[in-house]
Amino acid sequence: MPTQDSRPITVAGHRLTWSVRHWPRWTAESGLIGLSVEVVPVGPPKQRLIIEFPGGSVTAHRMSPERARPKVSSKQIIAIAQSALAAGWAPESRGKAFVFAVEASNTSLERTRAR
């Protein structure tokens, strides 16, 4: 279900919306977890795409995930969604969400300080 902050995009003829699922954060089980974005087809319920970015490295208190938030653009999400389509994501089908993990070498997200 799209949230209030969802942004519309079109990828390979599919009308989609995307929004941030969660910002980088610490968890007891996994340590640092990176940004996660959800891409949802517009219309009746279909297969969602979950994009998981790597956590990165935090070396100082001021760089904690609660303070540093990456900038994500629709252009980046479109490029990643095209890669997910090539990897087997089928937005027109139903079923469980397709989880696509972005490799650390393929991401170029800038970090900004949270307000």
For 87, residues 6+ apart whose C-beta sits below 8 A from its C-beta are 100
Q: Does residue 66 carry a pLDDT above 70? A: no
pLDDT of residue 27: 78
Structure pTM?
A: 0.79
Number of H helices, E strands in the chain: 1, 9
Q: Does residue 111 carry a pLDDT above 60? A: no
Do 102 and 53 touch, CB atoms closer than 8 A?
Answer: yes
Show the tokens assigned to 1.
């279900």
